[in-house]
Amino acid sequence: MPADLSPADKAKYAAAKRAVEFIEDGMRVGLGTGSTAAWMVRLLGKRVREEGLRITGVPTSSRTAKQAREEGITVVSLDEAGWLDLTIDGTDEFDPDLNLIKGGGGAHLQEKIVAAASDQMIVIADTAKDVPQLGAFPLPVEVIPFGLKATKALVEETLVPLDVAGRKVTLRMNGDAPFVTDEGNHILDLHLGRIGNPSRLSLVLNQVPGVVENGLFIDLCSRVIIGHIDGSAEIRKPKVDTAENGRDDDGEIRNIFADLGD
């Protein structure tokens, strides 16, 4: 571990280092976006250069693609790669069932598509992302530019009967202009405080015309690797240990789309 890292970066480095150990020769790997995922890409590139590890990377954003190429990782599109063995990505929050809020960096649409097309999703995080209930971090919702005001009003109305603590909706900005995603869309940030039923909220939001995708990742994450400032890392699996609700006999999340890769 580099000696001059901040405590937060030490934890991110530790989680990323442990996650990269799951990658094997010949794998097709989804490469996440964000500050923690950037450490993962850097460490994966080191394995490629020093160990001769042969992998194919599918980035979840243009900035991840740029970094991966600079690290010497072979980069292809998801359509070129087909089904993936593994995706490693960061998160903004995760709860005891490994439901996630993602999209703080504005890449959750591509991140969710890549995660859904993978046998496993490993999330890397520091302890600050571990929460008893989702919602303190604003929930990103990607929307198309056309009819933006109408879509925002519909989202606000949709939230009224739902089990959330707050209902403030703001348009994400980049300076004086709306933030633009890699797909040319905008993002509404939902300041909810607490999300009582993440699955229901995700389903309802995606029914709103103009909404492309929300930042709730449900039944996609297989495990979370939590890094600590002392350089150690722990692996967290869902607390519910049943074969129901998309979990296998070991309690790990089973990607509900996994059979499509067969």
Structure tokens at 97: 């069932």
Indicate if 146 and 122 belong to the same structural domain.
no
- The whole-number pLDDT of residue 2 equals 81
Name the domain boundary from 193, 212, 231.
212
- The whole-number pLDDT of residue 250 equals 56
Residue 1 lies in a domain: no
- The whole-number pLDDT of residue 243 equals 43
pLDDT tens for the 262 residues of the chain, in order: 887 899 999 999 999 999 999 999 999 999 999 999 999 999 999 999 999 999 999 999 999 999 999 999 999 999 999 999 999 999 999 999 999 999 999 999 999 999 999 999 999 999 999 999 999 999 999 999 999 999 999 999 999 999 999 999 999 999 999 999 999 999 999 999 999 999 999 999 999 999 999 999 999 999 999 999 999 999 999 876 544 445 555 555 556 566 666 6
| Beta-sheet strand order (sheet of 233-236) | 74-75, 56-59, 28-31, 86-89, 121-126, 223-227, 233-236
* Number of compact structural domains in the chain: 2
- pLDDT tens-digit series, residues 189-207: 999 999 999 999 999 999 9
Indicate if 197 and 233 belong to the same structural domain.
no
Name the domain boundary from 212, 227, 242.
212
- pLDDT tens-digit series, residues 121-155: 999 999 999 999 999 999 999 999 999 999 999 99
Indicate if 121 and 16 belong to the same structural domain.
yes
Residue 248 lies in a domain: yes
The CATH number assigned to the domain holding 145 equals 3.30.70.260
Q: Which residues are annotated as a binding site for substrate?
A: 33-36, 89-92, 102-105, 129
Indicate if 39 and 109 belong to the same structural domain.
yes
Indicate if 126 and 53 belong to the same structural domain.
yes
Residue 165 lies in a domain: yes
Indicate if 242 and 167 belong to the same structural domain.
no
- The whole-number pLDDT of residue 239 equals 75
Q: Chain-centre distance of CA 24, in angstroms?
A: 21
Cα distances (Å, whole numbers) of residue 29 to 58, 187, 194: 6, 27, 33
Indicate if 30 and 99 belong to the same structural domain.
yes
Residue 2 lies in a domain: no
What is the extent of the structural domain holding 202?
139-212
Strand 74-75 versus strand 56-59 pairing type: parallel
CA distance 195 to 231: 32
Residue 233 lies in a domain: yes
Residue 88 lies in a domain: yes
Indicate if 146 and 123 belong to the same structural domain.
no
Cα distances (Å, whole numbers) of residue 77 to 36, 56, 106: 22, 10, 19
Indicate if 226 and 118 belong to the same structural domain.
yes
DSSP 8-class letter at 138 = P
111 catalytically annotated = yes
DSSP 8-class letter at 84 = B
Buried b or exposed e, range 33-71, using 16+ CB within 10 angstroms:
bbebbbbbbbbbbebbeeeebebbbbbbbeebbebbeeb
Indicate if 112 and 76 belong to the same structural domain.
yes
- The whole-number pLDDT of residue 1 equals 80
Indicate if 14 and 86 belong to the same structural domain.
yes
The CATH number assigned to the domain holding 27 equals 3.40.50.1360
Q: Which of 111, 157, 183, 234 is catalytic?
A: 111
Residue 100 lies in a domain: yes
Name the domain boundary from 212, 227, 252.
212
Indicate if 111 and 169 belong to the same structural domain.
no
Residue 150 lies in a domain: yes
